[in-house]
Structure 1
Amino acid sequence: MKTILTNKHISIETRKRALQCYIEPVLMYGYEAWTISKQIQNKLEAREMWFLRRMLRIPWTTKKTNERVLNEANKRRSLIRTIRKRQATFLDHVMRRGKLEHLVTTGKFEGKRSRGRQREKIMDGLATWLGPGKVSDILAAVKDRDLWRDMIATLTSKALDDDDD
């Protein structure tokens, strides 16, 4: 895809569309089950910026800020927001279904915990992203589809506003 993404004869809009259609799905494979820590989020954002810099033929030695690169590409950061929104949609689906996935996601199954620091769970990651609410509030909101959709729409628009600041 390098020849397509770096070709100056193809408009930047077409190249951005190719990036969105062909590369981002490969990058986000299996993201519904990811627990996104700050380290993984930084790596994903860095990869997104790397692709944009390659498309605009900006060498990494050039001291251009990410904001300037985003302005040149006339684009906003969207990878993390897309992942979070789709994770919330997947959580909605799993919670309403109420099968084994529901038990695994909420952590309500029997057994011994392993030694050492416990791994971050999907619900922990979503709870930090969705706000200072409790997990029980999130589970209650999932049962009301309209409330859940409004909550996700509000959070993604808030994330857009935060990116602009």
Structure 2
Amino acid sequence: ARITTRLQQYRAKAELSRNTRPQAWVPREKLPRPLTSSASAIRKLMRKAELMGISTDIFPVDTSDANASMDGRRKHKQPALTADFVNYYMERNMRMIQIQDNISEQKSLKDKLESEQEKLHVEYNKVRKLSKSYSDLSLVKEIQTRIGKAATSFSRLRSRAWSNKYLTERTKTRINQCCVVSVLLYGSEAWSTYARHERELNAFHMRCLRNILGITWRDKVTNEAVLARTGSKSMFQTLKVRRLRWLGQLRRMPDGRLPKDILYSELSAGSRGRGRPLLRFKNVVKLDMKALDIATDNWERLAEDRTKWREQLREGGDRLDKDWILSDCS
């Protein structure tokens, strides 16, 4: 009987607690899944909503003591979130994502602009150096610059090539032609040189060849012997041949190309100053053709055939070197 009484008491107590238990909170509107549901996070969000003036009271508020219930346990108060607050929360997250995307996009754009600025700065320095070289419209500074760069290239190869006893003279000469002469005569096809410029370039060229062969002024070796020993050409021949080869290339260009238009065009206005005028490219190539025994009134027809034109230049260049050597010896 005592056990039955105790069971009845437990059943009554369980029924009472079941009837007085608060109903589970179910949102009236469907809430987004990413929204946090921890008690501390909910309190912070509700506090922020209150500060912003957003209402959070859509459920009836229990005015009874929240700290105690009928069975003496603390009652859990379910959070109440309005649709406005949820929209604010989602819009805020979207704005934060957009701001982060904009920041990353602006950063990549900044890096791209900085790289472009660096490239433009390098190009500007190159153009400024070239403008300084051609500021006085003379070849003095340009030739001095070319000789300086060629001398630097020559000195860098001293220990690797010129002082190397395992390399033949022919190999050293070809290295000099590739690494030194190409630097020395860079852009020489468009030069309008005078005799003093050609003598200066030829003196540097002969000095390099004598240095390669180990010949000093005490040996009393002529330039003819140095050129014959190395199989090289003088700067007088090389400059003229390079200019005329470029002239033939201009002639064979199709009409409408800018270099060809500049060659055959003339200024419509302007006058030359008093005194002897400076040599133009046309004047220099005419002198070159006379030096190589090429008719100035027939050169266009010869230049149409590339093979014949180069053969004509080769023969005239060899003949020019022989005449220069004979005049130098006399």
* TM-score, structure 2 as length reference: 0.43
2:223 is aligned with 1:66: yes
Shift of the 152–123 alpha-carbon distance from structure 1 to 2, 3 Å rule, reads: farther
Deviations 1:111-161, CA, capped at 9 Å, x for gaps: 313423311111111111212744x543x426x612x64244223213213
TM-aligned CA deviation for residue 75 of structure 1: 1.8
Query: Are the aligned partners of 2:244 and 2:285 in contact in 1 as well (CA < 8 Å)?
Result: yes
Deviations 1:56-96, CA, capped at 9 Å, x for gaps: 1122344322123234x342425443433332232233343
Q: 1:7 aligns with which of 164, 174, 184?
A: 164
Q: How far apart, CA to CA, are the structure 2 residues paired with 1:13 and 1:112? A: 52
TM-aligned CA deviation for residue 31 of structure 1: 0.8
Which shows bigger deviation, 47-56 or 103-112? 103-112
2:260 is aligned with 1:102: yes
Deviations 1:20-70, CA, capped at 9 Å, x for gaps: 111111001111110132222222221221111100112234432212323
What do you get for the CA RMSD once the two structures are aligned?
2.6
Other structure's SS at 2:216 match? coil
Q: Given residue 156 of structure 1, which amino acid in structure 2 is its aligned partner?
A: R
Which shows bigger deviation, 32-41 or 97-106? 97-106
2:286 is aligned with 1:127: yes
Q: How far apart, CA to CA, are the structure 2 residues paired with 1:13 and 1:2? A: 16
Other structure's SS at 1:90 match? helix
2:274 is aligned with 1:118: no
1:9-158 → structure 2 map (5 Å cutoff): 9-71=166-228, 73-95=229-251, 96-98=253-255, 99-106=257-264, 108-116=266-274, 117-131=276-290, 133-134=295-296, 137-138=298-299, 140-141=300-301, 145-146=304-305, 149-158=307-316
Q: Which structure has the larger Rg over C-alpha atoms?
A: 2
Aligned residues: 160
* TM-score, structure 1 as length reference: 0.78
Structure 1, unpaired ranges of 5+: none
